[in-house]
Copies of this chain bind each other. A is one copy, B any other.
Amino acid sequence: MSESEGVRRTPLNRERVLAAAVAFADREAGGTDALSMRKLAQELGVVPMALYKHVANKEELLAGMVDTVVGGIDPPAAGADWKGAVRERVLSARRALRRHPWAPRVIEALPAPTPAVLGHLDAVIGLLRAGGLSADLAHHAMHALGGRLLGFTQELFDASPEAAPDPGVAARLAARYPHIAEVAATAAHAERAAEDGTAVGGGCDDQFEFEFALDVLLDGIERLHLAGWTSTGARRAVQ
């Protein structure tokens, strides 16, 4: 009764909807699989269609949820050594995502990276570049890290330029994410230079990136093996 009149219930808005959706996915076992527009509406004491005044559709709801949690990543601390800075930033990302186990899957399932995700990637590339790495090496490093460490896929650099053939939009994106733009540009050049008939149009060489990450890992593991590395020793060394 008090709900049907009087204070009239604080009105919905985008943030309230997103926050409730995140809370729901965090609480429920199935994560975002258990989230439906209908259940979310019920949670907010509202009819399902009311949500559509604040999000265009379920996909935009999911994107908004992702941006909400990715926005919680600490800003990068630009320190002396790039390695430490990147390490800290990636661990911060991991901390943010671990509180929302559904997030990585949703990020990968979305058709395009959200602004907050792009911002995170741009920031990490910025740290690499500030550390003196070439745009080329930074590019491949991002691919190598991409797997589970950042929660984004290699389609990023492929899709972005293709989906925005409008030069105006492209320029705006380049201004907002300068490091991504720089890396994409050098990748395109390297691609053109290395072209030999197997020619992929535009994007970067997927196979090359895959083998790059694979070899960095295998070489590193071999080095540990030859040095007689043990995890108990490593754990002790940390303390």
| In contact, A221 and B216 (Cβ under 8 angstroms) | yes
For the complex, is A27 an interface residue (Cβ under 8 Å from B)?
A: no
B residues less than 8 Å from A86 (CB atoms):
218
Give the CA-CA distance A225 to B208 in the complex, in Å: 18
Q: Which of B136, B139, B190, B235 contacts A194 (CB 8 A)?
A: B235
Give the CA-CA distance A45 to B137 in the complex, in Å: 53
Give the CA-CA distance A154 to B193 in the complex, in Å: 39
| In contact, B232 and A190 (Cβ under 8 angstroms) | yes
Question: A: which residues have CB within 8 A of B?
Answer: 83, 86-87, 90-91, 94, 105, 108-109, 131-134, 136-137, 139-141, 144-149, 153-154, 190, 193-194, 208, 210-222, 224-225, 229-232, 234-235
Q: Which of B105, B145, B218 contacts A83 (CB 8 A)?
A: B218
B residues less than 8 Å from A194 (CB atoms):
232, 235
Known: A231-B208, A235-B194. A217 touches B214 (CB 8 A): no
- Rounded to whole Å, the gap between the CB of A207 and the closest CB of chain B is 8
| In contact, A214 and B149 (Cβ under 8 angstroms) | yes
Nearest 10 Cβ contacts at the A-B interface: A147-B147, A216-B220, A147-B148, A220-B220, A141-B221, A136-B231, A194-B235, A83-B218, A133-B225, A144-B217
Give the CA-CA distance A90 to B210 in the complex, in Å: 10
Give the CA-CA distance A204 to B157 in the complex, in Å: 34
Give the CA-CA distance A216 to B149 in the complex, in Å: 12
Q: Which of B137, B211, B230 contacts A134 (CB 8 A)?
A: B230
Known: A216-B220, A218-B83, A230-B136. A146 touches B144 (CB 8 A): no
| In contact, B94 and A221 (Cβ under 8 angstroms) | no
B residues less than 8 Å from A105 (CB atoms):
108-109
| In contact, B225 and A137 (Cβ under 8 angstroms) | yes
B residues less than 8 Å from A109 (CB atoms):
105
Q: Which of B149, B218, B219, B232 contacts A213 (CB 8 A)?
A: B149
| In contact, B145 and A148 (Cβ under 8 angstroms) | no
Give the CA-CA distance A1 to B200 in the complex, in Å: 48
Known: A220-B217, A225-B132. A91 touches B140 (CB 8 A): no
